[in-house]
Amino acid sequence: MNLRTVIIAVTAVTFLLSSCNKNNSSGSESLAEKSHGREETNDSSENVNALSFDNNNESAAYNKTSIEGNKEQGKTTIQIIEERIKAIGYQSDDPLKTNYTGPYDGWYTWHTRENNYDINDKTLSKEKLVSTLWLLDDELNKSYRLLFYSDDYFKMGSHYVGVDAFGKYKIEDGKVILYDYDHVQRDFYDKMFSSEEVIGELKFESDSFLVDNELLFNGVRFIPNGCPKLDGSHALIDGINAIAVNLKVVLTDNVKFRTEPNTNSKTIVPEIYEEIFHNEPNWRMPDCLVKGEVLTLYARTENLETIDGETAYWYYTGMPTIASYYDFGWIFGAWLEDYDETKKDEYFEMRRKYFE
């Protein structure tokens, strides 16, 4: 994977929080007063600043014609799905701008649907389903999305393979029901599509660190684009009670990136630095996030902690990996300051100097 691929993946994911950005000014914490220090020494590179669900651990060279799913008259499931979509006719004229076009360099381009998701509406309706993209929350398949259409059809797929699940939906008794569908063989599809009619329920108070709403089909979870967790609300992260935040910050020193909010937990190696800085004269893989790293913080611990004379919360954040997915973990918040867009180039130089 080259840097261009990483940048494409990073750019594509910034819509998750920004599309419904309320700035969350009420209850937001300012971090500008923090200066030098370190929970323990660290290093890092330019971050994506927003959680990405546009990435996939599957190879970008995935050949859709090789997928062997349910067969009908010798056709692959992909062929069956494409014929169904073509027969309906809206594929070439989609007012919601959610069609894919391609392939382009082996990828399909899913146009961004205009987001009209109303986080305050606690009902499940067709208008709510078609108002946004529903993003699969699966560790191995973050690029998958579910799209509902006003003509009672749904599609699922990703940039890499296009549409590989397709069918009809209806709403009954406050729940969405998927039926008359075709799909390829994937673990999460097999779990999700386990009966002729698949019932989905919209949950309005999720413990997710990222979003408040989620749509569940047989334990397979989708989260709506444009539904960020509001500042101050409760979040549960790997069994740890936390408070949701939405802050964009910069590291003022090297800081350890940890699996848990304590100094005894394992450190996470930010491998994305190798992709960006491997040609620098003093390149070595850092064991920390480096000074100048730009981060989006998603949650903090409930209680302050004092380490080496510095008192702060632990913050939950994410770093992209070379595989274009994310590693999530905790940093101690004593050495952060608020992000300044006018200093973007300066931040990059801070990171680069670590490897000189």
State the pLDDT at residue 275.
82
The beta strands (E) that lie in 195-343 are given as 198-203, 214-217, 220-224, 234-237, 240-251, 294-301, 305-307, 310-312, 314-320, 326-332, 336-338
* CA pair distance 296, 319, nearest whole angstrom: 9
* CA pair distance 51, 128, nearest whole angstrom: 22
- Tokens 């003022």 correspond to what residue? 252
* CA pair distance 21, 162, nearest whole angstrom: 28
**pLDDT for residue 29 is more than 90:** no
Q: How confident is the model at residue 171 (pLDDT cuts 50, 70, 90)?
A: very high
**pLDDT for residue 199 is more than 90:** yes
State the pLDDT at residue 61.
27
* CA pair distance 276, 16, nearest whole angstrom: 24
Q: How confident is the model at residue 131 (pLDDT cuts 50, 70, 90)?
A: confident
pLDDT in tens, 225-280: 767 777 788 888 888 999 989 899 999 999 999 999 999 999 998 888 888 888 88
168 or 5, higher pLDDT: 168
**pLDDT for residue 7 is more than 60:** no
341 or 133, higher pLDDT: 341
Q: What is the DSSP string of 190-222?
A: HHH--SSSEEEEEESS---SSBS-EEEETTEEE
Which of 8-12, 39-43, 56-60, 82-86 has the least mean pLDDT? Answer: 56-60
Q: How confident is the model at residue 152 (pLDDT cuts 50, 70, 90)?
A: confident
Look at residues 54, 29, 94 and name the one whose alpha carbon lies nearest to residue 301: 29
Query: For the chain, what is the mean pLDDT?
Result: 74
State the pLDDT at residue 37.
36
State the pLDDT at residue 14.
39
State the pLDDT at residue 264.
96
| Residue 320: cis peptide before it, omega within 30 degrees of 0 | no
Give me the amino acid identity at 330.
W
Q: What is the DSSP string of 108-165?
A: EEEPPPPP---TT--S--HHHHTTS-EEE--TT-TT-EEEE-TTSEEEEEETTTEEEE
